[in-house]
Amino acid sequence: MNPVIHGALLLLSALAVATPAQAPAPATPRLLTLPANNKAAVAIQLRFRTGAVDDPPGKAGLTFLAAQVMVEGGAGPLDAKALLGALFPIAAELDVRVDEEQTTFIAKVHRDALDKLLPILTDVLLHPRWDVKEFERIQAAAVNDVDKRLRQGDDENLGKAALHSLIYRGHPYQRLRLGHVSELKAITLEEAKAHAARVFTADRLTVGVAGGYPEALPGLLVKALSGLPVTGAPAVAVAQQKGSGRPRFLLVEKPGASTAISMGMPWELARTSPDQPAMSVARSAMGEHRQFNGRLMQRLREARGLNYGDYAYIEHFVQDGGNASAARTGIARRQQELSIWLRPVQNENRLFAVRAALYELQRSLVEEPFSPVEVAQTKGFLDGYILLFDQTDDRKLGYALDGAFTGPAGYLAGWRQALDAVTPEAVNAAWRKWVDPSRLQIVLVGPDMAEVKRAILANQPTPITYQDASVKRPRPQLDADAEIARFPFGATAEADVEIVPVEKLFE
């Protein structure tokens, strides 16, 4: 299903790589509609070209907090209680997601109840109440979310967030989009309100509509939202992050029986890159998210029982809800990254696991490139699996809006079609061209990090401890174990390994 792109969006799409400063600034929001159908649900996504990159210095989390207060704090005649009371009987979804460069106000409602939701949605954008009591409540929740949930009760996401911040040091993506604790606490209601007026502006907005909507809906939305300020803050430049690869390790000191591990590096690979289809095959063969086919999953979990899962990604990835095949939309970015996620490993095996991932990466580049059989199998996999990515109207709309931002239009269909021509040679050539293990940076979240640092700098052997030593394992695996136990960490100088207490992270 092809999205119908209106007016200025055509231009935007053609200029997808241009900086915002060069793009025209229309007085009314752009519109992107998918053809209306007879489904019960109407999906509306108001996509603003703003996000955490627009948080001013010392105000990390401002865009996120302002957007949350708009959606939850009451709007127009409805205070926060009345807002819940209006949404609940019609089971309407009203939410907002803030990423680095994109913020999406999401509404999903039964078409019979659309007239009830519509004034609420436009009031959230045009007339948020900014009640001080609601602001303080939502601010406190945002602080607790970072301070108590992320830093203390969610090691896997903490590891990913710490890696993100590490590989983007000095880049607009460095700060946590959810905010930093002391900065969030210092934000005032007036600052949130002023910030919203600067970033949720008509020139940054694309109105997306899909599902069983009435013909008049897109026009009504655009007309109403033309009441937004025409323009506001200048666009933030997002230059490509070079990435020094240093420090090699960031060790987050935190108690626990297991250690969360993430590694990655920034790069310029994009969905529009000619290498994207070949790289998608390599990525999937290395470690498809929450599937069993990847080398990392097969060798770390299936053969060695090191942990629950091991995956690789060639662009920023967040799973959307409970389905493994659903990558969140609305997180399209102009700067991308390679990452590897090892789910928590028992502390005794954590450095073996790090080395095993580095070892497998090295093998994929040199001694054991992706075989024709692996490539054929992975191409078959993606040919079917991509079909699952946009089964619902809201997901189709999300992909279309992403395409309008970073390109290409028709991303999923184009990707799937391009797979046919991908050869094993192309897969390995692209993988070798893009992946540079010496630039990888590595985060561990767990206890006793001074000891870990010593082991890394001394390149100390770290043999695997099998949970059950009585099992007879195949000779090649035991030989590989011995090699992995001594595989170089790639860190020799004191400054290559930083330790940070968890309380200091995102403070």
Site for another protein in 467-506 (CB under 8 A): 467-468, 470-473
Q: Is the dihedral of CA 425, 429, 430, 436 positive or negative?
A: positive
| Start-to-end Cα distance in the chain | 45
Applying CB under 8 A, among 65, 67, 75, 94 the residue interacting with another protein is: 94
> What are the backbone angles phi and psi of residue 8, rounded to the nearest 5°?
-65, -20
CB of 493 to another protein, least distance (A): 31
Query: Footprint of another protein on residues 153-182 (CB under 8 A)?
Result: 153-156
Residue with tokens 């607790």: 144
| CA neighbor of 67 nearest in space, from 215, 241, 193 | 193
CB of 408 to another protein, least distance (A): 22
Q: Is 299 in the site for another protein (CB under 8 A)?
A: no
Q: Is 21 in the site for another protein (CB under 8 A)?
A: no
Q: Give the HSE-up count for residue 376: Cα atoms under 13 Å, Cβ half-sphere.
A: 3
Which region among 59-67, 169-177, 272-280, 307-315 touches another protein (by CB under 8 A)? 307-315
Applying CB under 8 A, among 5, 53, 60, 80 the residue interacting with another protein is: 80
Which region among 8-16, 35-43, 244-252, 420-428 touches another protein (by CB under 8 A)? 35-43
Query: Footprint of another protein on residues 333-362 (CB under 8 A)?
Result: 343-346
Question: Is the previous residue joined to 501 through a cis bond, with omega within 30 degrees of 0?
Answer: no
Which region among 9-17, 195-203, 270-278, 384-392 touches another protein (by CB under 8 A)? 384-392
Q: How many angstroms separate the CA atoms of 203 and 20, rounded?
A: 10
| Pairing assessment for the beta strands 93-98 and 103-110 based on DSSP bridges | antiparallel
Per-residue mark of binding to another protein, 41-60 (x: CB under 8 A):
x-------------------
Query: Footprint of another protein on residues 400-439 (CB under 8 A)?
Result: none
Q: Is 383 in the site for another protein (CB under 8 A)?
A: yes
**Of 135 and 313, which has the nearer Cβ to another protein?**
135
> What are the backbone angles phi and psi of residue 165, rounded to the nearest 5°?
-65, -35
**Of 373 and 421, which has the nearer Cβ to another protein?**
373
Applying CB under 8 A, among 2, 19, 144, 417 the residue interacting with another protein is: 144
CB of 22 to another protein, least distance (A): 37
DSSP labels, 141-177 = HHHHIIIIIIHHH-HHHHHHHHHHHHHTTTSTT-S-T
Question: How many of the chain's residues bind another protein (CB under 8 A)?
Answer: 88
Q: Is 71 in the site for another protein (CB under 8 A)?
A: yes
Applying CB under 8 A, among 268, 308, 482, 493 the residue interacting with another protein is: 308
Other Cβ atoms within 10 Å of 200 Cβ, number: 25
CB of 308 to another protein, least distance (A): 4
Other Cβ atoms within 10 Å of 26 Cβ, number: 18
CB of 89 to another protein, least distance (A): 4
Q: Is 220 in the site for another protein (CB under 8 A)?
A: no
Q: Is 98 in the site for another protein (CB under 8 A)?
A: no
DSSP labels, 86-100 = HHGGGT-EEEEEE-S
Q: Is 113 in the site for another protein (CB under 8 A)?
A: yes
| CA neighbor of 45 nearest in space, from 321, 392, 385 | 392
Residue with tokens 């209106």: 6
**Of 242 and 290, which has the nearer Cβ to another protein?**
290
**DSSP-based three-state secondary structure for 364:** helix
CB of 463 to another protein, least distance (A): 15
Q: How many angstroms separate the CA atoms of 412 and 397, rounded?
A: 12
Applying CB under 8 A, among 273, 362, 381, 432 the residue interacting with another protein is: 381
DSSP labels, 435-490 = --GGG-EEEEEES-HHHHHHHHHTT-------S-TTS---HHHHHHHHHHHT---S
Q: Are the C-beta atoms of 296 and 310 separated by less than 8 Å? A: yes
Applying CB under 8 A, among 301, 334, 439, 453 the residue interacting with another protein is: 301
**Of 90 and 493, which has the nearer Cβ to another protein?**
90
CB of 433 to another protein, least distance (A): 25
**Of 257 and 495, which has the nearer Cβ to another protein?**
257
Maximum alpha-carbon separation in the chain: 72
Applying CB under 8 A, among 226, 392, 459, 492 the residue interacting with another protein is: 392
Q: Is 186 in the site for another protein (CB under 8 A)?
A: no
Q: Is 296 in the site for another protein (CB under 8 A)?
A: no
| CA neighbor of 266 nearest in space, from 217, 228, 315, 206 | 315
Per-residue mark of binding to another protein, 235-254 (x: CB under 8 A):
-------------------x
| Sequence-separated (6 or more) residues with CB below 8 Å from residue 269 | 275, 276, 279, 314, 315, 336, 338, 434
Q: Is 371 in the site for another protein (CB under 8 A)?
A: no
